[in-house]
Each structure stands twice: as C-alpha cells, then as structure tokens.
Structure 1
Amino acid sequence: LGWKGEDVSPNKDGSIERFIVESSDKKRSPAEGSLVKVHLIGKYNGNTFEERDVEFDYGEGCDCSIIEGVEIALERMTVGETSRIKIQPKYAFGSKGNDVFNIPPNSTVEYIVKLIDCEKGIEEWKLSDEERLQQAELYKSKGTKYFSKQNFSLAIKMYKSCVDIISKIDNDESKKLKIASNSNIALCYQKTNDYFEGKQACIEALKLDPLNIKALYRRGQCNLAINEFKEALEDFEKVIELEPTNKAAVNQIQICKQRIKEANDKERKIYANMFKKLSAADKQPTPSTEPDVLTKCGEWTDEDAKREVDLAFERDNNIVMI
C-alpha cells in the first residue's frame, strides 16, 4: 500500500490520506446530492469500532453519522473501489472524541471504505428555471427536516443551496423561497449563537422584502444579542408598526429600553468617575512659578464636575438632557 497515501484534504495539509486497496475501472464518482451506497469499517489503534452498510445523499452524510473526512474522500473514489482512509482529528471526531466508540479526544482514525454504488449527481447547468425551482423546494424541505432534528449546520447548508440554485431567477416564486430560506438561515444561526451571521441572513431577506415581519423580528433578536440595543429597538418598533398585536415584539421593546437605560447609566458613571478624578487633581496644590489663575477664576468644584459630566454625555450621545 505504500507509506504515504494521496492527500485528499481540502487544504492539502495531509489531514486526509487515501490508500487504494482495490481499484475499479468504473468512472462514476459521487457528486453533490447523488445517492451513495457504501460499506464502512472504522478503526482506531487497529481495533474496529464500527462496521456497517449505509446509504445517504452525498453532502448530507453527517445525518447518518458519517464523519467529514470519509465524505471528502468519497468524492475521489469510483464505484467498486475500496480505499483505506487515514483521517486526522479535525475531519474525524475532533477535540471531543466519541464516547460511544471509546475514541479519545484529538485522535486520528482510519476507515476502510468501499463505494458500492452512486447515482448521478445534480447537473445544475442543465436545469431549466422550472427544474431549479423544484430543486429549491426540495432543498428547503430538507433544511426544515434537518432543523427539526437540530442538525443546524446541515439545515443551513440546505437553505443556502435553496437560495443559490435560484439566485438568477427573478419571479414571485423564487423571491418567496429566498426570503423564507434566508429567514430560516437566521433562525439556525440564532440556535448556534452565531448572531452576526444571523443578522446578515436577515438583511438578505429584508433586501427582498423590507416589511417581512419574521426577518425584522429575528434581526432585532440578533441585534439585541450583540448589544446593538438601539438598532434592535428600531426593528421591534417596526414589527409593532406592521403588526400592533405582536406581544413578543412588545416584550422585546421593553427589554431594549431597559438595556439602553442600563448602558446609559453605565456610561454616566464612567464620565462621573473621570471628572471626579479631574476635580480631585485640580484641588491638589502644585508648586508653580505661573500665576495662580484658579484664585482669580474660581476652583473646579464638585458641582462643576457634575455639570460637565452631563454636558459630555449629551455631546457623545447626541441627546438633550431633560
């Protein structure tokens, strides 16, 4: 088999190596979306931890607990081929390991993989607009399925595929699919606490429909999570403007106002401490040959410091104190 296999890792860093055990004269290989049938034998330190036949749509292997390294290697294999795949942790079980298989964190594993069969993948360039819309509906449906399974990374992938395959179609049906998918992408990112990406997905939906209540509400939630309280307040107030009975938005508005007040109070304290230190420093006698201008003009008092705090706060926040 040789000491060094073919490097099939995405970054060509040796993290996934393929050693052909049994070659095949067939030419068909897996492509995105094609149904594949494989036989897997997983090994760690020479011991087998799993062996099974599995069938799945290529690109969705994680739904069947197929590790990423195996799926990446499969793309280079042909039907009938058997290969030994050496996979480093980042494409295997990572820093968590696998308790079920008794694999420690940061472990390199091997898989013996036989590609039994695979169907032809989707050739997008051949699809008509109608076929693209049908495929987009399928992607969206898969996204919803994976969301319900809490497989958020795969759900995001499916929703993004929905948007991508109809990116050049401009009609009401495609617009509806793009808005729904982007809004759902945002929800998935919220579930994984990736609020910046979630906000961006909402922005994409709102480009197509600025009055979309779900996208506005979810952008408000993302803004609130990243401490953009004023932007969040604007989003929730827009929701109420469009849907006055939206109780969830009313509650979020109260939270936003409270967070804004807390942020303002915190900022006031910072200014107060700063000017208090300045006031204390001014009261300290310092030898100087210069004329004592404070004797003539009046010293910096606590009252002066308090007034200056308010003025500085007004300037920095562009508000009028009442």
Structure 2
Amino acid sequence: MTVDSSESNEIGEDNMLREKVQADSIPTELNSQDSTKEVSESMETKDEWMDILGNGQLKKKVIKEGEDGTRPNKRDICKLKVVCEVNGEIVEEKDDFMIQLGDMEVVQGLDLTISLMDKDEIAEVYVDPRFGYGDQPEEKIPPNSVLKYIVELKEIIFEPIIETLSVSERLKMSNVKRDRGNFWYNRKKMTYAIHCYRRALEYLVSTNQDDQEDSHNGNTILESCMKVKNNLTAALMKTEAYDAALENVEDVLSHQPQNLKALYRKGQILKQKGEYAKAHAIFLEVQKLEPSMTSLQSELVYLEDKIAKEQESEKMLYAKMLGRVNNSKSKKIKVENKYKIAKGILWTLVGGTSTALVGILIHKFVS
C-alpha cells in the first residue's frame, strides 16, 4: 500500500503557475552561472557570512540589502527567485516561485533562511546536505550534495483566511500540501510528511456552504479529506504512532466503510498493537472485498498462530487463577522425580557395596 498520489486539475494549474518564468521581470544577468557572479560583484555586498545554526551547516550572506524590518512570518506566502547550484552547475532556476513559509515546500535549510530575509533582499545561501536533500538524490542533484542558492525575496503576502476561500481554491491549496507530503513520505522524512498532511487537512474542514458546492462537484472536499487522512495514517504508522493512526483511519472508514487502503491499514495497526483477533477479522473483510490480494494469506496465517497461542496462554492463566492446574501431571512429575532420586541412591549403594567386596577379596588373596 502506498500513499495516494492522484492530482486534481487545480494541482496541474498550480504547478504551471509556479514553474512559469516571467522573463520581463528577471534581471538577464541571473540567467547564467558566469553572469550571476558578475551581478553578485556589482551589487552592494557584505563580506561576512551569517552562521545561522552555529555549526557551519547553514550560512547566509547578503548580496543586496532589502527593506529593513520586513522579514516574513511563518505561514506567510513568499514570492521568490531561486537559482540553485551544485558543484558550480545550475541545477534549478525558478522565478515568481510561491511557497508558504514553514510548510516544507522547499528544503529545510532554505525554508529557515528565507525567514531571516527582508523583502527585496538578495542573498547567497550555503546548505549542507543535512538540511538539503541528504543522502537521497533529487533530479539533477546527486546524494550528499552541498547546495548553493542565490535567493531573492520578491514579495510577502499574508496567509489568506481559509474560510474566505472558495472550494476550488481550498482544494488547490490542500493538494499542494498533500503532494508535498507525498514528496517527503517517499524520501522517508515522516515528520515533514505528517506536518504537510495536517496542513492539507486544515483547508478541508467542511461548512454548510461547502456541502452546497460539493453537491455540484462530486463531494470533492470529502473525497480529498479521505485521501489526505489515508496518507496521514500511513505516515503515522511509520513513526509507530499507532493510536493517532487508528483515529485517522477510523474516521475514513466512518465515511467510506469499504475503503480498501483504510481497512488494510487498520488491520496492520491492530496487529502492531497486539489486537490479533480484531486484526484477523479486518483482514478477512479485506479478503472478501479483494480476493486477489495474495499478501493477505500470510497475514492471516500469522494472526491465526498468534491467536492460538494467546488462547492457550489464557487457558493456563485461568486454570491457575481457579486453582485447577492439572494435578495428575504435577503428581506424575513428582513421582518421576522421586523415582530418579531413589534410582540414583540405589546405584550409589550398589557401587559402594561392590567396591567393598572387591577390597575384601583382594585383601584375602594378597595376604
């Protein structure tokens, strides 16, 4: 079972907007590596690096000052121009790139740095692999790469009030968060994935107006909410937060009782919690809905063995509690132990007697 990666039309439009390059608003000097250096040298420059974390793994140097006192806050929407280099080669270049600060829509190092920039500031940013893409490759970026960014913070927009957004706008925002959650899930960064999924859900709280609009849109709010909760369940399971995962999956099943992903994950959660009989019943239900799922057979065999052992242990426990331990077995064990002891004593006596007789005979013949 994998996280849901389906995308709405709104997501496609949003990606096109974020990827679109408006050449008329981009200084042509930033379009190549060599010219980037020329622009950096011609602009007002500060020689000192800011060591943001104090360990040399995330550093920022101002190339061009921005408006003093205009740093963005968490959840503000920031419009950026970003050029990323790895080993002197440009691997990413985006303009009018929109992110919501604090929502892990860029690598952690860049997200932290943007919060320390002023509007219209241009900065050079050094990001250690730990706060970049780590030991996993990204498109055009090898594992364990140091990232060098030239970032311009072009505009800061306050986060819109969710209740004022239309259903389509909220779905678009939610899908962006969900897709980013899927990105971090696939990179095994579960803390980031969980954050993104929870943010996606904030845009999917239903209202009466939503219910009216949903009647014309195929219950899109509810369906999107169930997809996000299914994905959130998977991420929570990876962190062994089984109680929280069970709460999410139960909510999905309350609206969609035959949701296969939700049922299967519920069975896995119950198994991990040691509730083997309940897990077995859930997997049987999944098997009825999807007989071709071959992995269920091994799950069922495993659970049946666990259930049998639990039942045997319970029988023994109840017997002890009621003083009904099998006395015949215990008596038999005691008799066998007594027999072994007596047999040992007998052989000891026989051996001692034999030794004495041999000694007497030797003494007679020698003397």
Shorter-chain TM-score bucket reads 0.5 to 0.7
Q: Do the aligned partners of 1:142 and 1:158 also contact (CA within 8 Å) in 2?
A: no
User: Is the CA contact 1:28–1:79 (under 8 Å) kept in the aligned structure 2?
Assistant: yes
Q: Where does the alignment leave 5 or more consecutive residues of structure 1 unmatched?
A: 271-293, 302-322
Which residue pairs with 1:25 in the alignment? 67
Give the aligned partner of residue 220 of structure 1: 267
**CA shift for structure 1 position 14:** 5.2
| Bigger Rg, structure 1 or 2 | 2
Distance 1:226 1:172, change over 3 A: farther
Q: Counterparts of 2:269 and 2:77 in 1: how far apart (Å)?
A: 35
In structure 2, how many angstroms separate the alpha carbons of the residues matched to 1:147 and 1:6?
Answer: 29
Candidates 120, 123, 132, aligned match of 2:157: 120
Distance 1:197 1:178 in 2: 24
2: distance between equivalents of 1:202 and 1:4? 47
Do structure 1's residue 260 and structure 2's residue 307 form an aligned pair? no
Residue 58 (structure 2) aligns with: 16
Paired with 2:185 and 2:76, the residues of 1 have a C-alpha distance of 17
Structure 1 pair 259–122 and aligned structure 2 pair: CA distance change class (3 A) = same
Contact 1:79/1:118 (8 A) holds in 2? yes
Query: Does the CA contact (< 8 Å) of 1:195 and 1:222 recur in 2?
Result: no
User: Percent of pairs identical after alignment?
Assistant: 13
Secondary structure in 2 aligned to 1:196? coil
Change (3 A) 1:132 1:35: same
Asked if the contact 1:135–1:162 (Cα under 8 Å) also holds between the matched residues in 2, the reply is no
Change (3 A) 1:165 1:145: closer
- Cα distance in 2 for partners of 1:198, 1:158 equals 19
Following TM superposition, by how much is the alpha carbon of 1:38 offset from its aligned partner in structure 2, in angstroms? 0.7
- Does residue 1:70 correspond to 2:102, yes or no? no
Quote how far apart the aligned CAs of 1:22 are: 1.0
Mapped partners of 1:171, 1:297: distance in 2: 79
Q: Contact conserved, 1:139 with 1:159, CA < 8 A, in 2?
A: no
Residue by residue over 1:32-82, the C-alpha shift from the partner in whole angstroms, topping out at 9 and shown as x without a partner, is 3725231314254xx344462344331499999x53312321232233211
Query: Which of 118, 122, 134 is 1:94 aligned to?
Result: 134
How much does 1:233 deviate?
A: 1.8
TM-score, normalised with respect to structure 1: 0.57
Counterpart residue number, 2:98: 57
1:218 aligns to what SS in structure 2?
Answer: helix
**Structure 2 residue aligned with 1:305:** none
Q: Distance in 1 between matches of 2:155 and 2:91?
A: 22
Output the CA distance in 1 between the equivalents of 2:333 and 2:120. Answer: 98
Instruction: Report SS of the residue matched to 2:157.
Output: coil
Q: Does the CA contact (< 8 Å) of 2:237 and 2:269 recur in 1? A: no
The structure-2 alpha-carbon separation of the partners of 1:99 and 1:176, relative to structure 1 and needing over 3 Å to count, comes to closer
State TM-score, norm by structure 2. 0.51
The answer (yes or no) to whether the contact 2:266–2:282 under 8 Å persists in 1 is yes
Pick one of 104, 111, 115 that aligns with 2:149: 111
| Partner residue, 2:79 | 36
Contact 2:174 2:200 in 1 (8 A): yes
- Asked if residue 299 in structure 1 is aligned to residue 336 in structure 2, the reply is yes
Deviation readout 1:66-109 (Å, 9 max, x if unpaired): 5331232123223321112122221123234679455x63x544
- For residue 83 of structure 2, give the secondary structure of its aligned residue in structure 1: strand
CA–CA distance in structure 2, aligned partners of residues 71 and 162 of structure 1: 18
**1:80 and 1:114 in contact (8 A); partners too:** yes
Letter of the 1:257 partner, please give it. L
Q: 1:160 — aligned with what?
A: 198
Aligned amino acid, residue 141 of structure 1? N
Q: Is the 8 A contact 1:223 1:229 kept in 2?
A: yes
Deviation at residue 258 of structure 1 after TM alignment? 0.7
Structure 1 residues 98, 218: closer, same or farther in 2, change over 3 A? closer
- Please state how far the C-alpha of 1:181 moved relative to its aligned partner: 3.0
The answer as to whether partners of 1:24 and 1:79 remain within 8 angstroms in 2 is: yes
Is 1:137 aligned to 2:171, yes or no?
yes
Distance 2:86 2:332 in 1: 86
Please name the residue that 1:230 is paired with: 277
Find the counterpart in structure 2 of residue 206 from structure 1.
250
CA RMSD of aligned residues (A): 5.1
Using the alignment, how far apart are the partners of 1:120 and 1:296 within structure 2?
A: 82
- The offset of 1:113, in angstroms, is 1.9
- Residues 1:56 and 1:249: Cα distance change in structure 2 (over 3 Å): farther
Quote the Cα distance in structure 2 between the aligned partners of 1:147 and 1:159: 6
The alignment status of 1:5 with 2:50, answered yes or no, reads yes
